[in-house]
Amino acid sequence: MPVEFGPDEFKTNERRTIVTRFWIFLFLLVPILGVGVFLWAPYAGVYLPQDVSTHGHKIDHLFTFILLLTGAVFIATEVVLVVFMWRYDRERNQDPVKFTHGSHNLEMVWTIIPAATLLFIAIYQMNAWAEVKIDRPDIPPTLKVTARQFEWRLQYPGPDGVLDTRDDIHTVNDLHIPVNEQILIHLESDDVLHSFFLPNLRIKQDAVPGSTIPVWFRATEIGAFDLVCAELCGWGHYKMKGRLTIESREDFENWLEQKRQEQEAVQ
C-alpha cells in the first residue's frame, strides 16, 4: 500500500520558520542587488559610454527614463512578492485563506495603468527614432562605407566632391569625420550582413548586401573612438574593428589631402 505523503511533512517547527525566513531574504536580495548593480555600474565604468553626438542624449535620456520606470515597477513587484511571501506564509498567517476568484475592478486597474504607461513610452520615443532613422538630411553623402569580411572600406569623394569617381579617396578601417557637421554615410556591404556600430555616437545600422542604406549623425566632440561590427559576419567578426577619428574641419581636410597624395604616389 503506497504511503500518503504530502505537504504535512513540512508542518510547523522551529527549523522550518528559520528556513522560510531565509528563502524570503533570498528573494529580497533580488531587488536590492539588482538596484545595487545598476547604481554601481557607472562607477565601474560599465555603463553608457561617453556620448559625442547631438541625438545621443535623447537615447540616453530614454534609457534612463525607461530604467527608472521599469526600475520602479521592478522594485514594486518584487517587494510585493516578498511581502506577500512573508505575510501569507503558512506559519505566520493565522487568518483564514481569502477565498476569492479575482476582482474585475483590479483587473481593469492593472490593465489600464500599464497600457497607458506603455502607450506613453511608445509615443514619447517616436521623435528620437524619427531623428535617427527617418528624417534623412537632404545633403550629398559625406562618404561611402562598404563592409566586407572583415574590414571597413571607406570611400571619400575626391576634389570633385562626387562619390564613385576616379578621384575618390579610399581608406580601410580608418574613419575620419569633421566635428559639428551633418554627416551622411552611404552604407553598403560586399558580402554578408555587418553592422555599423559607433557606440559613442549612438549609431547602429546593419549593412545589407545589395542595398545602400543611409546613416546620418552629427558629432560634437573631438576625439578617437571605436567602430565596431555588431552583426555576426563570420569567424573574424570579433576583429572587424575600425577607428573613428572626429576632428576639426581643418584637420579633416589635411588628413584627406594627405591620403589623396599617398594614393596618387602609389598609382
Partner 1 sequence: MSATIAHGHEGAHGDAHAHSGSFLTTYVFSRDHKVIGIQFLISTLLWFVVGGLLALAVRWQLAWPWADMPIVGRMLFSAEGGQISPEFYTMLFTMHASVMIFFVIIPILAGAFGNFLIPLMIGAEDMAFPTLNMLSYWAMWPAFILMTASFFVEGGAASAGWTAYTPLASVHQAAPASGTGQTLWLLGLIFVGISSMMGSVNYMTTIIQMRAPGMTMFRLPLTIWAMFITAVLQAFALPVLTAALFMQVLDRVLGTGFFVPEGLMINNETAGAGGGQPLLWQHLFWFYSHPAVYIMILPAMGMVSDMIATFARKPIFGYKPMVYAIAGIAGLGFIVWGHHMFMSGMNPYLGMTFMLATMMIALPSAIKVFNWLGTIWGGKIELTTPMLFSLAFVSMFIIGGLSGIFMAATPVDLFIHDTYFIVGHIHYVLFGSSAFAIFGGIYYWYPKMFGRMMNETLGKIHFLLSFIFFNGTFFTMHILGAGGFPRRLADPYHYEAFKHMQPMNQFMTICALGMGAAQIIFAINFFGSLFFGKRVGRNPWRANSLEWQAPSPPGHGNFDFQPVVYRGPYEFNSPEVDEDYYPQTQPPPEKGGQEKQKEGEQH
Partner 2 sequence: MSANASGETVVDPHAAEHGIGKYIAVFVALIVLTGASFFTYSSLWPFHDEPAVGRLFMMAVSCTKATLVMLFFMHLKWEANWKYVLTVPPAIMAIFIMLALVPDIGLRYRIASPKRRAFMAEPLDVASVEAGSHAADNGDQQHETGGEH
Site for ligand CUA in 141-170 (CB under 6 A): 147, 150
Strand partners, 156: 169
Residue nearest to ligand HEA (CB): 114
Residues 171-190 that bind partner 1 (CB under 8 A): 190
Q: Is 86 helix (H, G, I), strand (E, B) or coil?
A: helix
Give the shortest CB-214-to-ligand CUA separation in angstroms.
Answer: 19
Q: How far apart are CA 220 and CA 181, in angstroms?
A: 8
Site string for partner 2, 208-247 (x = CB under 8 A): -xxxxx----------------------------------
Which positions from 77 through 96 interact with partner 1, judged by CB under 8 A?
77-78, 80-81, 84-85, 88-90, 93, 95-96
Q: 213 or 222: whose CB is closer to partner 2? A: 213
Instruction: Tell me how far, at minimum, the Cβ of 54 lies from ligand HEA, in Å.
Output: 23
Helix (H, G, I), strand (E, B) or coil at 245: strand
φ/ψ of 184, rounded to 5, equals -125, 120
Q: Residue 81: which residues within 8 A CB-CB, separation 6 or more?
A: 27
Degrees to nearest 5, angle at CA 47 with 131 and 172:
65
CA 47/CA 240 separation, integer angstroms: 23
CB of 190 to partner 2, least distance (A): 8
Q: Which residues form the interface with ligand HEA (CB under 6 A)?
A: 70, 73, 77, 114, 117-118
